Amino acid sequence: MSDLKNLTLKDIYRLRQPTACALSPDGRFAAVVVLSYLEQENDRVESLYLVPVDGGPAHRLTRGKAGGSAPAFSPDGSMLGFLSTRPDEPEVLALRAPAGKDAEKGKETKPRRQVWALDVALGGEPRQLTYAEEGVASFCWSPDGTEIAYAARAPKAGEKEYLKAIREDDGPLVVRRVQHKMDGEGYLDEVKTQIFIARVDTRQARQLTDAPFDCRLPSFTPDGSMIGFVANCTGDADQNRRWDVFLAQSDGSGLKRLTFGDVNAALAEQPPAFSRDGTKAAFTTPRDPEDDYEITHLVVVGLENARPLKSLADALGQGFSTIGGVVPDGAPEDPVASARVYPVALERTPLNVLTRTLDRPVLGDVRWVDDDTLIAVVADRAQAKVARIRLDGAVEYLAPHGPVGTVGTLDARAGRIVAVMSQPDAGIELYRLGAEEPVRLTSFHQEILDGLQLPRLERLTLTAPDGQSVDALASFPPGSGAGARSPLMVQIHGGPMWFDSPGFDFDTIYFAQRGYVVLQVNYRGSISFGEAFCQEIQGQWGPLEHADVMAGVDFLVARGDVDPERLYVTGFSQGGIMTNWAVGHTRRFRAAVSEHGQWEYVSAFGTDDCHLWWQNDLGVPWQNAEAYRAMSPASGAADIQTPLLITAGQEDWRCPLDQAEQLYVTLRKRGVPTELVIYQGEHHAITKPRRAIDRLLRIGEWFARYGGPPLREDPGVGYPSPEGTVAAT
């Protein structure tokens, strides 16, 4: 036991986590995106590695903060394209317009994300392929490798002047959109995204689409004759999720519409996948695009069903009997149904819904392996799995085998399949999949894992008070035996339509090694357990999820695994919301930490970026304020006695800061012990590594104040608090 070690918070800087992968056309190599953290710069970076699929060491391709993401091999495998924010090449600077006022003022223009390409065989510095003014969102290679298609914002003359004013001169933000802001992006403008094509040899680009709406996610058909992309042509894209598939020839002519207003083909943020014979397109979509609680299906539509268009402008608002969007005034008998004012399509797309009987959501990474078979990532009972799906609807899971492990991303080419998988005892690595057990190809986590004491992970099946079977994960302190009566930390996942997986999780390991039993309950609403399980909480967040979580607490208490006097709860996003709900409905927890959550839903409407979600669940607050308030954690404000630490991102538009402020002042006015920690400039997610460390330290220190295990971290590892270092001793 003396040779075993525990994680420290500084180990975050040693993590190297694969996040995406792409196979070469011959299946011999995989390009892998690896996320790591820079201590001195307090930043994160994505680097590209090349991994032999038949075995061999991973070779690092890119270095530095500019990093690389979204790798894609050219069709002949000689080049690897990727997205990066590195500074423009001198040759590209010469292609741009002469320097203007930026140069005169000495201002440094931040590089935009562009497409770059590495020579895989000969190496050397990457070559820049695009110089889009606003950067590139996504790209793909043409089948002959001579061109790339990409999606990029295309501001018109007046829009350019507006962007310049707000960026350089602190001009006023003028809001005209309903979806006026988005977390991580800030306030939104009216610039449309269009599809462009650039030649690889000359970098010369031409604009393929000039639509009065956004066109995104381009993808070539196998013969290169057409480019598929997705667009919302309703004319009111902020108030619905009707993203259709369109086709165009490479010169912009031959426009066709493949789906007819009844799908959300952009949900997975992945382009339509064309079959090898070029006759079919596959993508994921829920049956009802506006219903967040419906599972996403894998669907296929034949290209023979596409309808010709004169122009994209002619498609604006067409194919619908009504566009909806405006909620009728008055006091409707059913305010929820009355507010569901969505587009009504005139016809249904002739979709072959391959997963109609699966009752499990398809998360994405759709790939054709032959003209009758696809693979994709499917969520099944708390695990994301690689699934082979046939056109007749037959589904076979390929990995992971057994009750632990979960898949991140995958790719398939030349009869080979690779996937990024997370295993609780092996970290997050790249694997080759086949008929036998997955073969691990990388060892990015080995340095961390060597000699590491790992918690014992147990999957639990719970019974909620209403008889519903609920899945949960429990991680036990290393070396603890039955009846140890350890302190319990309940970690509530976000979403709510997501799930906790039995994989490698730094936070869970860290706290379990410090003496906690860490409980993660896949409460009602968690996807991967069927659509009905998910839909139970629609319009009624709180009671069911809380009952499921407490069933897990009761189970571990009754079994003697945890000390009933030392129970703690925390959660992020929806987990923060449910933490706020928990402390208003039970006093069993000695302390709680609510991270980036919400408190009062009437005031959240219009200040967060989720108006469609609220509208579909509860209608609109001026017609249904009572239901909004009843579902809000604020409904339990008068019953909260539990000491609560609250954290928030200063620029979080998913769960805005003012929600945390309302909760904080409420508790202070009532005399409940509380603190509010605001991460300056941060959005909904924590992005800076030092903030990630500080977050864990504050959770542990807060619980230690109220009887939890001391952390014994080195002083100064977190940000200081007014009374000194946050580190507990």
- Which tens digits make up the pLDDT trace of 587-644? 999 999 999 999 999 999 999 999 999 999 999 999 999 999 999 999 999 999 999 9
Pair of tokens at residue 582: 């928990």
| DSSP state for residue 299 in the 8-state scheme | E
Residue 235 domain-assigned (yes or no)? no
For the chain, percent of residues with pLDDT exceeding 90: 91
The CATH number given to whatever domain includes residue 696 is: 3.40.50.1820
> Which residues lie closer than 8 Å to 228 by C-beta, 6 or more apart?
218, 219, 220, 221, 245, 246, 247, 258, 271, 272, 274, 281
Distance of CA 144 to the CA centre of its chain: 32
Residue 482 domain-assigned (yes or no)? yes
DSSP letter string over 697-710?
A: HHHHHHHHHTTPPP
Residue 95 domain-assigned (yes or no)? no
The predicted pLDDT at position 726 comes to 64
> Which residues lie closer than 8 Å to 439 by C-beta, 6 or more apart?
55, 431, 432
Note the pLDDT tens digit of each residue in 369-410.
999 999 999 999 999 999 999 999 999 999 999 999 999 999
Question: Angle, to 10 degrees, between the axis of helix 611-618 and the axis of helix 621-631?
Answer: 90
Q: Is the pLDDT of residue 723 over 90?
A: no
- Angle (CA) 197 202 203, round 5°: 45
Residue 656 domain-assigned (yes or no)? yes
> Which residues lie closer than 8 Å to 157 by C-beta, 6 or more apart?
none
Distance of CA 37 to the CA centre of its chain: 19
Residue 106 domain-assigned (yes or no)? no
Pair of tokens at residue 245: 């598939």
Cα 475 to Cα 456: distance, rounded to the nearest angstrom: 6
Q: Which residue has the tokens 């310049």?
A: 164
SS3 45: strand
The predicted pLDDT at position 725 comes to 61
Note the pLDDT tens digit of each residue in 140-156.
999 999 999 999 999 99
Q: Which residue has the tokens 């009111």?
A: 236
Return the closest-CA partner of residue 632 out of 597, 590, 588, 682. 597
- Tell me the residue length of the chain: 729
Mean pLDDT of 199-205: 96
DSSP β-bridge partners for residue 48: 33
Pair of tokens at residue 688: 């800076």
Q: Which residue has the tokens 């009802």?
A: 288
SS3 409: strand
Strand (E) or helix (H) holding 257: strand 256-257
The predicted pLDDT at position 97 comes to 57
Count how many domains the chain has: 1
Note the pLDDT tens digit of each residue in 549-563.
999 999 999 999 999
Strand (E) or helix (H) holding 664: helix 657-670
The predicted pLDDT at position 728 comes to 44
Cα 48 to Cα 50: distance, rounded to the nearest angstrom: 7
Pairing of strands 517-522, 43-52: unpaired
Q: Is the pLDDT of residue 665 over 60?
A: yes
pTM for the model = 0.96
Note the pLDDT tens digit of each residue in 271-323.
999 999 999 999 999 999 999 999 999 999 999 999 999 999 999 999 999 99
DSSP β-bridge partners for residue 494: none
Q: Which residue has the tokens 């609220």?
A: 614
Cα atoms found within 13 Å of the Cα of residue 433, Cβ hemisphere only: 25
Note the pLDDT tens digit of each residue in 312-355.
999 999 999 999 999 999 999 999 999 999 999 999 999 999 99
Cα 687 to Cα 704: distance, rounded to the nearest angstrom: 25
The predicted pLDDT at position 109 comes to 67
The predicted pLDDT at position 157 comes to 96
The domain in which residue 609 lies consists of: 454-725
Q: Is the pLDDT of residue 2 over 60?
A: no
Cα 389 to Cα 283: distance, rounded to the nearest angstrom: 13
The predicted pLDDT at position 254 comes to 96
Cα 41 to Cα 205: distance, rounded to the nearest angstrom: 35
Question: Angle, to 10 degrees, between the axis of helix 543-558 and the axis of helix 574-583?
Answer: 70
Cα 489 to Cα 477: distance, rounded to the nearest angstrom: 11
Cα 723 to Cα 704: distance, rounded to the nearest angstrom: 16
Residue 191: pLDDT band by 50, 70, 90 thresholds? very high
Residue 260 domain-assigned (yes or no)? no
Residue 729: pLDDT band by 50, 70, 90 thresholds? very low
> Which residues lie closer than 8 Å to 94 by C-beta, 6 or more apart?
none
Pairing of strands 193-199, 147-153: antiparallel
The predicted pLDDT at position 101 comes to 42
Peptide bond into 643 cis (omega under 30): no
Residue 182 domain-assigned (yes or no)? no
* Category of 414 on φ-ψ map: left (φ > 0), alpha (ψ -120 to 50) or beta: left
Helix ranges, 467-596 (H): 506-513, 531-535, 543-558, 574-583
Compute the mean pLDDT over every residue in the chain, rounded to the nearest whole number.
95
The predicted pLDDT at position 480 comes to 87
The predicted pLDDT at position 212 comes to 98
Question: Angle, to 10 degrees, between the axis of helix 689-705 and the axis of helix 506-513?
Answer: 30
Residue 174: pLDDT band by 50, 70, 90 thresholds? very high
Residue 512 domain-assigned (yes or no)? yes
Note the pLDDT tens digit of each residue in 67-119.
899 999 999 999 999 999 999 998 888 877 554 444 444 344 689 999 999 99
Cα 605 to Cα 625: distance, rounded to the nearest angstrom: 11
